[in-house]
Amino acid sequence: MMSESIDNQKFPKLDGLPVDICIFTLATERRIELNENVDKRTLKSYPKRSLELLLVQRLHEPFQDKWALPGGFTDIETETLEQAAIRELKEETYPDAGSIGDGQVSNKIYLEQLSTYYRPDRDPRGKIPSVAFIALVNEELLSGLRAGGDAKQARLFQVNMEVQDKMLYKSEDGNTKIDEADFAFDHGKIIRDAIQFVQNKMLTTTIAVKLLPREFTISELHQVISAVVPTFTPSTSNFARDLVKTKSRDGMLEEVWDEQGNPKKSTIYSARPAQLYRFRNEFEPQVSIYPRV
Amino acid sequence: MMSESIDNQKFPKLDGLPVDICIFTLATERRIELNENVDKRTLKSYPKRSLELLLVQRLHEPFQDKWALPGGFTDIETETLEQAAIRELKEETYPDAGSIGDGQVSNKIYLEQLSTYYRPDRDPRGKIPSVAFIALVNEELLSGLRAGGDAKQARLFQVNMEVQDKMLYKSEDGNTKIDEADFAFDHGKIIRDAIQFVQNKMLTTTIAVKLLPREFTISELHQVISAVVPTFTPSTSNFARDLVKTKSRDGMLEEVWDEQGNPKKSTIYSARPAQLYRFRNEFEPQVSIYPRV
DNA sequence: TTAATAGTGTCTTTAAGACATTATTAA
DNA sequence: TTAATAATGTCTTAAAGACACTATTAA
């Protein structure tokens, strides 16, 4: 029993616990570049959105040159797992990512503990655990990184969800394509678990908000969900109508109005102005496979 | 970064990781005892079902006499977290609880990792982590324990879900009532998280199967769900009809037939025989707050 | 006009829920 | 008969989904 073991001092006090983070973002790529001499109507077509994951290439053995999740240690005496994850997140992304909270780091970052991995064969140097986190980070916070590969060889990889075996390939130049065999440790397994976790959260909670601007059109929300969950393919017109009109989703979204009290609209993706919405954070999603509740 | 820290041997190889388990069961209590001289019709009325949690009273400081989750260590070199959890589970419950699997320990036990807890103030002896698991155990496997308190002072506590602050009280004699202040470490917090986790799983997956006999009536399923989730209160007749007839739940349950090809029925809770069903494990529940998928 | 998305209208089917009614069995 | 649960039937409303159609804007 636990009490006996700890009381007998069998267990050494830890210096820290390893933390690895699956940092996801949703990349938005206009189908046609702005500087080209094209019809502005075509320019406004829906962008290509792809789920991307931040990986770092290992400099040393074991797994030298393999790709791994960014991670670190809870190395301060008073630091929690979440605080360590946020610290690492900041190192890899935006230095001003925000303060600490329970899955509510900032309105542009979602952070949640995924699971702890501790299979004896996961690290050739011995039995070392890893507490894995997932983070959804708004694209703009990773813009610095995307400008080019840095010293640590951190790169964003597009997640290819059609094939479940060969999962990832490089986004920027498309040259580096990697699959499960190119991952260090058990990070391939962690990443598979993380993608499933994020997909599930995307369909059962309102985390889509972390991948959207504060005010967005219904079609943007549609784009985000179907980029993360490829099987999500309702007709855009029914989706827009149902989202706002259906009773069980009352209070999920609210229309945005400007100072004059007129409906605030956006023409970012369309010639015809589209109504802007925002998520209301009072909304508590409820899902069940059984009737009622 | 993780690679640097581990390569520099800052992190000591662990002897083991502490594992704590929230072992839940669903106690079934006939409203009237069998030996009383009562109308057999009344005897067959629905039983009282209550979610119960296994706790052990601590013998030593810190938190002497406080109640804690049963737990232990991954103390064998090749042991995984799940294996350690199963080993502890067996110690506390049925010695023949079954083999190892991913949330599929046996058809009578559900086991899943909940989260890892590591706040610096959770243990007065220093920063010690705990990997928490939840287990749903069929009542019959805990029958030995229920016979009476043993040397380790392990007891089942009824979970009182109406009041969120004062959560638990003793089941058998009803004398020992405990609340958040009577828990060791941060186990009160772990237990609250665990209850929420189990309730969510109960509504979005088919884990109810672990708390039921292999063949059961629709009313038994109804009893199980509403015992774990008190807000679940559909009318029994609509529930029975919808469960079997609704297209989106096609393949979830199947009727049981006897050797002669007649519908197999049960009179355990009713004078009129009720159809027996079983869960089909091909069924993959799908839930979403958005239309489609 | 056309390309592209925004949004409405209509119709059908499925599901949820209220509620009444009938069925079954043993005492 | 009665107590208790099992099961069916009917009606209403809410959602989901298919699909046609109109609206808006800039080139």
Query: How high is the pLDDT of residue B50?
Result: 93
Token code pair at residue B7:
């390569």
Residues of chain B with C-beta less than 8 angstroms from the C-beta of A205: 289
Question: Out of A29-33, A261-265, B161-165, B280-284, which region has the weakest mean confidence (pLDDT)?
Answer: B161-165
Per-residue pLDDT tens over the stretch A205-218: 999 999 999 999 99
Per-residue pLDDT tens over the stretch B239-272: 999 999 999 999 999 999 999 999 999 999 999 9
Query: How high is the pLDDT of residue B100?
Result: 42
- Band of residue B293 on the pLDDT scale cut at 50, 70, 90: low
Per-residue pLDDT tens over the stretch B21-63: 999 999 998 766 544 555 555 667 899 999 999 999 998 889 9
B141: helix, strand or coil = helix
The set of strand C positions with any atom below 7 Å of a protein CB reads 2-9, 14-21, 23-27
Whether residue A152 lies within 8 A of chain B, CB to CB, comes out as yes
Question: Which nucleotide lies closest to B235 by the C1' atom and the CA atom?
Answer: C17
Q: Is the pLDDT of residue B17 over 70?
A: yes
Taking every pair of Cα atoms in chain A, the longest distance, rounded to a whole number of angstroms, is 76
* Closest CA relative to residue B114, chosen from B2, B205, B194, B6: B194
Tell me the CA–C1' distance in angstroms for B41 and D2: 10
Who's near B134: CB < 8 A, 6+ residues apart? B21, B22, B24, B110, B111, B112, B114, B194, B197, B198
For the beta carbon of residue B181, count every other beta carbon within 10 angstroms: 9
E-strand spans in chain A?
18-29, 48-57, 67-68, 71-73, 109-117, 130-137, 154-159, 168-170, 177-178, 253-255, 265-266, 274-275, 277-279
Which H/E stretch holds residue A198? helix A187-204
Query: How high is the pLDDT of residue A8?
Result: 40
Phi, psi at residue A154, to the nearest 5°?
-90, 135
Instruction: Give the β-pairing of A130-137 and A18-29.
Output: parallel
> In whole angstroms, what is the distance from residue A170 CA to residue A156 CA?
7
Residues of chain A with C-beta less than 8 angstroms from the C-beta of B119: 80
Q: What CATH number labels A2-11+18-28+40-204? A: 3.90.79.10
Whether residue B242 lies within 8 A of chain A, CB to CB, comes out as yes
Q: Which CATH class is domain B212-279?
A: mainly alpha
> In whole angstroms, what is the distance from residue A86 CA to residue A135 CA?
9
Query: How high is the pLDDT of residue B40?
Result: 58
For the beta carbon of residue B137, count every other beta carbon within 10 angstroms: 27
**Cα B196 versus chain centre, distance:** 12
Pick from B59, B229, B291: CB nearest A293: B229
Whether residue B206 lies within 8 A of chain A, CB to CB, comes out as yes
Query: How high is the pLDDT of residue B4?
Result: 41
Query: How high is the pLDDT of residue A160?
Result: 86
Ordered mean pLDDT values, 10 residues apiece, chain A (293 residues): 42 75 92 57 82 92 93 88 92 59 68 96 90 94 61 81 63 74 95 96 97 97 97 95 94 95 94 96 94 75
Which H/E stretch holds residue A188? helix A187-204
Query: How high is the pLDDT of residue A126?
Result: 85
> In whole angstroms, what is the distance from residue B221 CA to residue B211 CA?
9
User: Do you find a cis peptide bond into A120, omega within 30 degrees of 0?
Assistant: no
Query: How high is the pLDDT of residue A4?
Result: 41
- Band of residue B16 on the pLDDT scale cut at 50, 70, 90: confident
Q: What percent of chain B has pLDDT over 70?
A: 79
Who's near B202: CB < 8 A, 6+ residues apart? B208, B225, B228, B229
Pick from A10, A131, A287: CB nearest B15: A10
Tell me the CA–C1' distance in angstroms for A92 and D22: 49
Single pTM value for the model: 0.91
Q: How many CA atoms lie within 13 A of B224 on its CB side?
A: 26
Query: How high is the pLDDT of residue A39?
Result: 59
A292 touches strand D (CB under 7 A): no
B46 touches strand D (CB under 7 A): yes
A144: helix, strand or coil = helix
- Using an 8 Å Cβ cutoff, are B136 and B211 in contact? yes
Which residues make up the interface with nucleic strand C when CB must lie under 7 A?
A 39, 41-42, 44-46, 217-219, 236-238, 240-241, 265, 269-275, 291-292; B 39-41, 234-235, 237-238, 242, 245-248, 267, 270-273
Query: How high is the pLDDT of residue B172?
Result: 58
Phi, psi at residue B27, to the nearest 5°?
-80, 135
Q: How many CA atoms lie within 13 A of A45 on its CB side?
A: 9
Q: What is the mean pLDDT of residues B108-133?
A: 94
E-strand spans in A94-237?
109-117, 130-137, 154-159, 168-170, 177-178
Query: How high is the pLDDT of residue A147?
Result: 46
Tell me the CA–C1' distance in angstroms for A236 and D18: 12
> Residues, chain A, total?
293
Domain residue spans of chain B: 2-11+18-28+40-204, 212-279
> In whole angstroms, what is the distance from residue B219 CA to residue B217 CA?
5
> In whole angstroms, what is the distance from residue A235 CA to residue A238 CA?
5
Which H/E stretch holds residue B21? strand B18-29
Per-residue pLDDT tens over the stretch A132-146: 999 999 988 887 665
For the beta carbon of residue B254, count every other beta carbon within 10 angstroms: 13
> In whole angstroms, what is the distance from residue A11 CA to residue B6 CA?
20
A53: helix, strand or coil = strand
**Cα A278 versus chain centre, distance:** 19
